[in-house]
Amino acid sequence: MLPAIFGLSGLTLTAEEVELIRRVDPLGFILFARNIENPQQVKLLTDALKHHTGRDNLPILIDQEGGRVARLGPPHWRTWPPALEFAHVYDQSPERGRAAVVCNYQALALDLAALGISVNCAPVLDVPEPGAHDIIGDRAFGSEPQVVAALGAALLEGFAKAGVVGVIKHIPGHGRALADSHEALPRVTVSAEALSRDLAPFKALANAPMAMTAHIVYDAWDDQRCATLSPAVIREVIREQIGFDGLLMTDDLDMKALEGPVPLSGCQSLAAGCDVVLNCWGRMSDMRGLAEQLPVATAACQRRLSEAMSIWVPPPSAPEIAALQADLLAERDRLMQGA
């Protein structure tokens, strides 16, 4: 198995993609708007991926957080509120806020399960700081670490009820970044003591099945390399201080925060201690380069993958999903309105 999660070029698999998949057996795949037209088409695409890999519990990822980060939307799928709305409910009543999160994200995850999507890249556990770049903003469950942790845990519970795996991100914390790592390499200069606030939600959810790294330099831990490429950050902060032992994936290797060829960044991230690389754009040259240069998945990677995907279960029937979602959304709305 190749320790890579690949994007795809379009709505259906090309002959080149099929050949690559069959030859190198990527760990998983990630879908974007260019891969999505309607429910029938998405289901055919995920079925094809499972067929060519021979894995029913294949990790097929998507970014469906709700709010402004949503790959599925009208007219075929409903819209979902951003995470911050649930923090406002939690402020009024922690019990109602937490229950509303479970209902909302179980219902959201049922949309994914119906399409054959098994992994959702959420929750965002970053704690936004005043003055930071707004790339996180309302994607976070507020600005208090304990609230972010409590509602992040409720989100993972909702996902698991639908048989969908969650990915905590962006470990060890993106909330202080003054730049968007899609466009530049952020540098965080505060002390290790100050960073303990950022780590708190990740520590609380250290038993999460999967996590995604941050392409950020933290001067207090490694002033030369961003977390994704830093053995010190991955070993001493993520694995030891936070205590995360789940499947650790990079953020997208093709973001401008990283320099150099994608295959080189992939090799460097695995050498630093990541389990799997994320390559989102579906460019055949990059995927072939990674296939040629990456080592095979380690035993630890395969163990973590197996444990993470144990959450996946075959979805209910379409009528059962529709009825369950209706009940969940009615209960969510009741809770959010304080009824």
182 has catalytic annotation: yes
User: Which tokens in the block code for residue 75?
Assistant: 């007219």
Q: What is the dihedral of CA 148, 98, 71, 247, to 10 degrees?
A: 60
Q: Out of 56, 88, 182, 333, which one is annotated catalytic?
A: 182
Q: Where are the beta strands (DSSP E) in the chain?
A: 2-6, 26-30, 60-62, 64-66, 69-70, 119-120, 165-171, 187-188, 210-213, 217-218, 247-252, 276-279
| End-to-end C-alpha distance for the chain, whole angstroms | 50
215 has catalytic annotation: no
Contacts for 125 with CB less than 8 Å, ≥ 6 apart: 140, 148, 149, 152, 168, 169, 171, 173, 201, 202, 205
CA distance readout (Å), 261 to 224, 244, 258: 18, 29, 9
- Report the chain's C-alpha Rg in angstroms: 19
Contacts for 16 with CB less than 8 Å, ≥ 6 apart: 284
**8 Å CB contact between 275 and 243:** no
CA angle 80, 83, 86 (to 5 degrees): 100
Beta-carbon neighbour count of residue 193 at 10 Å?
Answer: 8
Handedness of CA 147, 153, 156, 157 (dihedral sign): negative
Q: Out of 63, 111, 251, 275, which one is annotated catalytic?
A: 251
Stated as kind and residue range, the H or E segment containing 71 is none
| DSSP code for 176 | T
Residue among 175, 112, 111 nearest 138 (CA): 175
Q: Where are the beta strands (DSSP E) in 83-131?
A: 119-120
**Catalytic positions:** 182, 251
